[in-house]
Structure 1
């Protein structure tokens, strides 16, 4: 992070008057606070974040008096490597700000295979944290359980269901499944009996007493009524008249619709999609030379969202009391399921070619051969095509891409109802007086204006290649209309403060100097300095100092006093007169 980006981020913090979800600020004037370790754990277990040390939140985020940047940088690096398990790999820099120095730590999300990251001295169940609001919250036992299951392949869907019998499966659908797999994979199934086919597909399995019973996956895909055994493994649907559950008109109804859908997954998908379409309006858009009438939410996009929620949800005993929830508000459709993303997939990966990972492998295999009642098509293709289909259908009618929110215990898809680039939004963009914006930059600004951070993945969902997405977002930052939070794959972009405080804050700083100029300025009179002394004087990392020394040496602006590998090697500035 460089000076201008830090200034804009601080202006954003001043506007919010508090920390942000993925930005934590500490004065650290008296040393590294112990709570920083909780934050390092929380950022690692969540989506990453930025740690700013040396700013006083109680003094309008001004530089903290008595802050020792070099000492705090070293203490933070030590905490990352020694106090957390597994160690946190953070990018730590010292950045000039307001005539002082600030330590900036960029913490990336930990690979799901190694979560949770916890404070070693407290142990896994007392020292694991996540972000909540603008602070850190200890993970619950259930959340830690989910992180553990994410390390391998859960087998909840292949377990036999107690008290269920083969007769609890829908016979017509069972015969159709057996016929289909025999035809599609004759080498594996053609010569097997129906019972053997169902065993091989994990529709049936023996319990501990040797009795043949439907598995959880088999019951959900082919059962006559799975809710007999799991009453809450269903779908609920609520329609609110306003923008929230509390937004109720005076003397008006609390709900416009409120129902639940039972049965196997194919039945629940069809009935849920029908209910959503029944409660939405039809609008028109121009396609080619004619006009097309469509629902606010394309049926195909809704179907994929509901099917994905039922396929990828957590089916462990912890979550069997929680249904998939569909909520329709005046301005958006929300589909939420228990359990966050599984495996190494992140929200930025969603929509990419071939991106897929499921915690329910048996169910995923079955649903590619099980029919939807209304159309006769398969519930899912199991080809990583669900999210791309959703994105394509929404782009086709001019709707913004959906938002994906993944937490440890919950995954949520939000489809906005309105078109992104309405007349009011276009007037607002014109008022920014930014010439040469691309169409996708217009869309990105509209998303930010709606309060939704934009990422490289968001731009890819709008149809850009990854390198072009980064270039267009960086251009918005350089124009001063957006602020970047985080680095590399964890970068999020939000609107810069509208009052110009970011620019005023930056102008109040000393003129920006290059790293080489920072190193040169450390030399006074005829002083000779070691590389370590240059690090302490400038607040720069040793790699930046070394790179600057090599450049200055090549330019003839510094000289050295000993060979490169000598422990006595020091540097002095060459008189340029």
Structure 2
């Protein structure tokens, strides 16, 4: 929430929109309402004007209660908005230095309500990018419609395909892994077709015959059949160890020398990811244990990336391994808020049938504990906390796992040093936090970016030297804010 006593320090961004509104309820408010609901949520301020230097100044609305009444009448009109995602506490009058303004807190809409559109026209669906609203492409609209379905995307029975799409070696390998994970399982004696039917990889079509499901095709199909249904399907693993070379090792689904399906890609990519993970010597009885919490976290992260991808989306799924970091990017946004995902307890996979298939061979978590476990492991290792970001146009989710120690004395920062270890990404995160918070202490910022306060203060000192941030107070009372 905004600190209204310091409103002049805020700026418009992807979560804040200011409108003067002296002439009544602005027509453009509905585009912003749709955009906030379809993106991350946000706050609309009526009675606030944006000055030439981008700072805010309040004006006294002559009749704020009338504006609120008009807003409620329109937002509840199905001919104007597809759904009202607000509650009564989300709209109120706020007094700021004697001026009366209206605050409208638009929450992020649940996926079942999306897309939130206006004027009774699904083509009038908006999203927020930076400090502006934009009309969604047909592709973005269709992605929201798919995600709104009660059934997950991968439950669709593909009646135009037959059982020949399955790669027999992939199915054999999966069944062998399941025997090891769940010996004596009731499905063990079934023939392949009946096993795949029980698994959810096969469904019965309207013709009464067996056909692959989307999940079955993605997990066990051949790439040349997968792209018939998922035209932009592409899986890509890259190792980028040399700055002068685009990649030093690569696995792509379209190479033609392997199946190209999700199941086989998982194990090929995972075996590459763990090659540099140090394994301490540990024995259980007479058997050496080569599995660590880091291995488990990487399995969770990779499975999470694969089961939450929108395989109809553009640009494919890309895993990049560097010496000091791994990034996993998949098409499609988060179906729940990132904060909720970090907290755990909520599971809403885009491809639920695929998650079940991974679960049966002891990969992946259904109870919503996967992402919290990844953060816990990184915290225990003393590494910079993982970063989850959502990207629009096209919609993608990116997980970054860094192997840099948060309190590495050898990487102490010196102002003006060209070899400074401060990353542009960390500074942008701090600026973004101070955009949403008029001022904050180093401890609050540190918690947000996942670093220790001492390291965070080094980043803040760099930003102060660059004239972006200013510090007020001393010692324990010191706070930071963006320079006016």
Question: What TM-score does the superposition give when structure 1 sets the normalisation length?
Answer: 0.60
Shift of 1:346: 2.1
For 1:55 and 1:63, locate their aligned partners in 2 and report how far apart those are by CA, in whole Å. Answer: 6
Let me know the Cα RMSD of the aligned residues: 4.6
How many Å separate the matches in 2 of 1:282 and 1:323?
Answer: 30
2:60·2:99 contact (CA, 8 Å) conserved in 1? no
CA contact (8 A) 1:95 1:101 kept: yes
Partner of 1:137: 134
Q: Residues 420 and 84 of structure 1: is their aligned pair in 2 closer, same or farther, counting only changes over 3 Å?
A: farther
Write out per-residue CA displacement over residues 189-233 of structure 1, whole angstroms, 9 at most, x where no aligned residue. Answer: 47755543332223334556665444332343344x445543854
Residues of 2 paired with 1:94 and 1:52: CA distance?
Answer: 10
- In structure 2, the partner of 1:555 is none
Q: Provide the rounded CA distance (Å) in 1 between the counterparts of 2:210 and 2:443.
A: 66
Aligned counterparts, 1:359-438, within 5 A: 359-370=350-361, 378-406=362-390, 409-422=395-408
What's the counterpart of residue 373 of structure 1? none
CA distance in 1 between counterparts of 2:369 and 2:93 reads 44
Q: Does 1:84 align with 2:81?
A: yes
Separation (CA, whole Å) in 1 of partners of 2:322 and 2:176: 38
Q: Pick which of 76-85 and 48-57 moved more.
A: 76-85
Distance 2:411 2:128 in 1: 32
Given the alignment, which residue of 49, 52, 59 partners 2:45? 52
Question: Conserved in 2, the CA contact under 8 Å of 1:338 and 1:411?
Answer: yes
Question: What corresponds to 2:340 in structure 1?
Answer: 349
The alpha-carbon deviation at position 169 of structure 1 amounts to 2.3
Aligned partners of 1:449 and 1:426: how far apart in 2?
A: 19
Structure 1 residue 416: deviation in Å? 3.5
Report the counterpart of residue 543 of structure 1 in structure 2: none
* Whole-angstrom distance in 2 between the partners of 1:415 and 1:326: 11
Change in Cα spacing, 1:304 to 1:479, as seen in structure 2 (3 Å) is closer
- Residue pair 1:448, 1:454 contacting (<8 A) in 2 also: no
3-state SS of paired residue (1:451):
helix
Q: Aligned equivalents of 2:241 and 2:154: distance in 1?
A: 38
Aligned counterpart, 2:470: 499
SS of equivalent to 2:108: coil
Query: 1:316-355 counterparts in 2 under 5 A?
Result: 318-319=312-313, 322-328=315-321, 332-342=325-335, 345-355=336-346
Identify the residue that residue 199 of structure 2 maps to in structure 1: 201
Structure 1: runs of 5 or more not aligned: 14-18, 243-248, 285-293, 371-377, 429-445, 456-472, 486-494, 507-577
Greater relative CO (CA pairs within 8 A, separation 6+):
1
Give the match for residue 236 of structure 2.
Answer: 236
Q: What CA deviation, in whole Å up to 9, does each residue of 1:137-184 have, x standing for no partner?
A: 112222222322333113534524725517632253265378579955
| Superposition deviation, residue 394 in structure 1 | 0.9
Counterpart in the other structure of 1:94: 93
1:113/1:204 Cα in 2 relative to 1: closer, same or farther (>3 Å)? closer
CA displacement, residues 281-332 of structure 1 (integer Å, 9 cap, x when unaligned): 9799xxxxxxxxx9xx9443333222111122224xx33x642112346764
Q: CA deviation at 1:135?
A: 0.7
Write out per-residue CA displacement over residues 220-247 of structure 1, whole angstroms, 9 at most, x where no aligned residue. 3344x445543854421345679xxxxx
Alignment of 1:453-472 (within 5 A): none
Q: Which residue of 1 aligns with 2:451?
A: none
3-state secondary structure, aligned to 1:159: coil
Q: Distance in 2 between matches of 1:124 and 1:501?
A: 50
Aligned equivalent of 2:454 = none
Q: Which aligned pairs between 1:555-570 and structure 2 lie closer than 5 A?
A: none
**Gap regions ≥5 residues in structure 2:** 281-289, 415-424, 449-459
Q: SS in structure 2 opposite 1:349?
A: helix
- Distance, in Å, in 1 between the alignment partners of 2:131 and 2:440 is 24
Report the CA distance shift for 1:427/1:200 in structure 2 as closer, same or farther (over 3 A).
closer
Q: 1:183 to 1:397 in 2, by over 3 A?
A: closer
CA contact (8 A) 1:54 1:69 kept: no
Measure, in 1, the Cα distance between the counterparts of 2:131 and 2:15. Answer: 8
CA drift of 1:34 comes to 0.9
For 1:366 and 1:449, locate their aligned partners in 2 and report how far apart those are by CA, in whole Å. 39
**What is the Cα deviation at residue 64 of structure 1?**
5.5
Task: Please report how far the alpha carbon of residue 136 of structure 1 lies from its aligned counterpart in structure 2 after TM superposition.
Answer: 0.6
